Amino acid sequence: MKITIFGSGYVGLVTGACFAEVGNDVLCVDIDHQKIQRLEQGEIPIYEPGLEALVVENTSKGRLKFTTDIKKGVDFGLYQFIAVGTPPDEDGSADLRHVLSVAESIGTYMEEYRIIINKSTVPVGTADLVKEKVTSVLKERNVIMDFDVVSNPEFLKEGDAVNDFMKPERIVIGVDNPRTKELLRFLYSPFNRSHERFIAMDIRSAELTKYAANSMLATKISFMNEIANIAERVGADIESVRKGIGSDSRIGFSFIYPGVGYGGSCFPKDVQALERTSRKFGYDARILQAVEAVNNDQKGTIVKKIIDHFNGDIKGKVFAVWGLAFKPNTDDMREAPSRTVIEALWKEGATVKAYDPVAMEEAARIYGERDDLKYAANPEEAIIGADALVVLTEWLVFRSPDFEMIKRELRQPVVFDGRNIYSPEYMEQAGFVYYSVGRRPRG
Ligand code: NAD
């Protein structure tokens, strides 16, 4: 089948590579010329395990191609995926500019029936807006042409995106007619073999499903951070509490780790966008507001611990920061807690020596050259001469470090662990002043 994908970011590129891998002809379109140039040369602009091999293999077989030519994209595929960004607007609502611009292009260039499949995360009602946009452009062109709009929210996780796409837990499709439903079922059949994962529903429900899923996961995290904050105050240990509640199968162990707050390109913006949508429809979504507020505060809790430890003055201090990405196995730093923490440390006059296995290039892109941000070639180098270590992402490489070396090289043996990856007992025995989240002995 011939498939066009607008947007070659985390979602578009993975979608394109995976559809090509199962034998389809895929054309990926992006307005970012540099990105497309790199992709054409087999260079992957993002870090995503397994993606490079798929892109290189399928490009060499001629099944995966890249272009900036929008018309070529519209001409190419019966299936036209929209996988462009939907960043937050000024008021936190989803900015639909890119989605509607693709809809306008499709309306402008289409010469025959097309299925427009929206994979971007978009508020309820966006499929209608896409439909209206295409219809109005066709009208301006004075042509009558059939097309369908489908909602197909994406649930892949950065860091395991290829796996998630190839073996999805569910394929959610929002459609308004049975024929399109069957075309989509056929398109996704290679990923739906072992058991039924295809969940078809009406379009608005599919659009809401994505926001509901992300908001539920974000709620679990904020809830757990709130319990951790309570645990710190009442002298309980959140790790014991986590095990105690996670063992209840109705609750489960996933997404109940406390930490420095959730980040990334999805949870913060999607919780906000759903809250704004609810407000627009006259409903005050109090849980979502609280989820967001707790998360914003949580990013600051580690900074407060740092400042308190140094008696309110960290001017001139140097902090080794382990982890910049919003989670392990990605280079994505969108809304990463590291950004809030680092910026707060700078504001207080401190300097940061950072190490991240893959996100340092992204940090350099975001922050440029500055005197108060240095990058280390490895985790050990970040420690040398620093006043304290701050752990912000739970990369495996940070889990079992050389504590002797850390103690020797830090000016003071102080560790602020925003991910609870070390044992408080061990750290105390090893002679560290150790701060974590919701745990005894030091918070
Ligand atoms: P991204 O920012 O990595 O990529 C978006 C790409 O779209 C960019 O390369 C941009 O240049 C391109 N683009 C913008 N306007 C365009 C246009 N008119 N035509 C062609 N290309 C255009 O974004 P992403 O992380 O891949 O997210 C895309 C969407 O998928 C968002 O709505 C996001 O919420 C959703 N989503 C993301 C994830 C994730 O883990 N990143 C998971 C599920 C859903």
**For each of the chain's 443 residues, which pLDDT tens digit applies?**
999 999 999 999 999 999 999 999 999 999 999 999 999 999 999 999 999 999 999 999 999 999 999 999 999 999 999 999 999 988 889 999 999 999 999 999 999 999 999 999 999 999 999 999 999 999 999 999 999 999 999 999 999 999 999 999 999 999 999 999 999 999 999 999 999 999 999 999 999 999 999 999 999 999 999 999 999 999 999 999 999 999 999 999 999 999 999 999 899 999 999 999 999 999 999 999 999 999 999 999 999 999 999 999 999 999 999 999 999 999 999 999 999 999 999 999 999 999 999 999 999 999 999 999 999 999 999 999 999 999 999 999 999 999 999 999 999 999 999 999 999 999 999 999 999 999 975 54
Q: What is the pLDDT of residue 440?
A: 74
Residue 440 inside a domain? The answer is no
Same domain, 191 and 225: no
Looking at 148, 175, 200, the residue that finishes a domain is: 200
Same domain, 223 and 139: no
Nearest CA to ligand 1 atom 28: 85
CA distance 251 to 235: 23
How far CA 272 is from CA of 92, 212, 213, 275, 343, in Å, comes to 6, 12, 13, 5, 22
Same domain, 280 and 177: no
User: Considering all CA atoms of the chain, what is the largest pairwise distance in Å, rounded to the nearest integer?
Assistant: 78
Q: What is the pLDDT of residue 136?
A: 98
Q: Is the CB of 30 under 6 A from ligand 1?
A: yes
Query: Per the structure, how many domains does the chain have?
Result: 2
Looking at 155, 170, 200, the residue that finishes a domain is: 200
233: containing domain: 216-435
Q: Is the CB of 32 under 6 A from ligand 1?
A: yes
Q: Is residue 40 a contact partner of residue 64, using CB atoms and an 8 Å limit? A: no
How far CA 14 is from CA of 50, 91, 106, 158, 162, in Å, comes to 10, 30, 22, 10, 6
Q: Is residue 22 a contact partner of residue 306, using CB atoms and an 8 Å limit? A: no
Residue 210 inside a domain? The answer is no
Same domain, 352 and 390: yes
Same domain, 128 and 61: yes
Q: Is 210 annotated as a binding residue?
A: yes
Same domain, 244 and 161: no
Q: Among 402, 351, 358, which residue's Cα sits nearest to residue 380?
A: 402
Which pTM value belongs to this model? Answer: 0.95
CATH assignment at residue 293: 3.40.50.720
Residue 302 inside a domain? The answer is yes
Same domain, 264 and 193: no
Q: Is 438 annotated as a binding residue?
A: no
Q: Which atom of ligand 1 is nearest to the CA of 29?
A: 20
Nearest CA to ligand 1 atom 15: 98
Tell how far the Cα of 280 is from the centroid of ligand 1, in angstroms.
Answer: 24
Same domain, 103 and 235: no
Q: What is the pLDDT of residue 442?
A: 54
Tell how far the Cα of 416 is from the centroid of ligand 1, in angstroms.
Answer: 34
Looking at 146, 171, 200, the residue that finishes a domain is: 200
Residues paired with 27 in a beta bridge: 4, 65
Given the residues 172, 266, 320, 383, the one annotated as active site: 266
Residue 12 inside a domain? The answer is yes
Q: What is the pLDDT of residue 8?
A: 98
Same domain, 190 and 222: no
Buried b (16+ CB within 10 A) or exposed e, 202-222: ebbebbbbbbebbbebbbbbb
Q: Which atom of ligand 1 is nearest to the CA of 153?
A: 44
Residue 443 inside a domain? The answer is no
Residue 211 inside a domain? The answer is no
Q: What is the pLDDT of residue 90?
A: 86
Q: Is residue 270 a contact partner of residue 210, using CB atoms and an 8 Å limit? A: yes
Q: Among 115, 3, 117, 7, which residue's Cα sits nearest to residue 64?
A: 3
What is the strand order of the sheet 114-118 is part of?
A: 64-67, 25-29, 2-6, 79-82, 114-118, 147-151, 171-174, 198-201
Same domain, 114 and 220: no
Residue 208 inside a domain? The answer is no
Q: Is 86 annotated as a binding residue?
A: yes
Q: Helix axis angle, 238-246 relative to 203-234, nearest 10°?
A: 140
Q: Is 361 annotated as a binding residue?
A: no
Has 18 been annotated as catalytic? Answer: no
Report pLDDT digits (tens) over 379-437: 999 999 999 999 999 999 999 999 999 999 999 999 999 999 999 999 999 999 999 99
ipTM of the complex: 0.99
Q: Is the CB of 266 under 6 A from ligand 1?
A: yes
Nearest CA to ligand 1 atom 34: 121
Residue with tokens 């990605």, as numbered in its chain: 330
Residue 442 inside a domain? The answer is no
Same domain, 182 and 314: no
CA distance 102 to 108: 10
Tell how far the Cα of 84 is from the centroid of ligand 1, in angstroms.
Answer: 3
Q: Which atom of ligand 1 is nearest to the CA of 35?
A: 9
What are φ and ψ of residue 103, in 5° steps? -60, -40
Same domain, 279 and 428: yes
